[in-house]
Amino acid sequence: MNKLIFIIALPLLILPGLAQTRTCLRVMSIDEMARSSTLIARVKVYKIEKARYRGMYTQLAILRPVEVIEGDFTLSEINVLARSNVPCAEDNYTPGQEMLVFLEPQESLFHTVNFQYGQFPVVGEIVKGWRDKANKPVDKPYAEVRQEIQAHVDAMHTPKTDKPVTKPPETPPPVR
């Protein structure tokens, strides 16, 4: 009798857990990531260390900048927290890998904006998995990607005006 109850109860306990869907990450647009980032750079992963950062991250990646598009260009090494325990996050780094990354501060360190969607492998001069205007992944030359990012950054730093810029009316010189 106990076995029968166990056989009936076991599926009833397991099925609700299997039926729950995981809420995965929203893929941010390039414009959103550029606005959220304090450092946008092409980097090479120098070293990986295990980390326990407040139970949120388990990897510390030490990156060396190849080219800084936006942010502090004086940094010679960038310490980035990775391998987040956020559901669906896969923000991992591998030594020797070259990447284009969007980073934001996490106290005295950095973390990747939008987790794995804020890092793009660079193979040769091709950025893998870059997103087009429809937010679909495409492979694109690094030079074009850099120009696109620079356009977003420039737009971010240029103040918007609601009114068209017009010259003030010229007053004629006084008549004597």
pTM to 2 decimals?
A: 0.76
Domains observed in the chain: 30-157 (2.40.50.120)
Q: What is the mean pLDDT of residues 54-60?
A: 87
CA gap 96, 64 in Å, rounded: 10
Task: Find, among 165, 160, 119, 126, the residue nearest to 143 by Cα.
Answer: 126
Q: How confident is the model at residue 93 (pLDDT cuts 50, 70, 90)?
A: very high
Task: Find, among 84, 70, 146, the residue nearest to 114 by Cα.
Answer: 84
**Has residue 18 got a pLDDT over 50?**
no
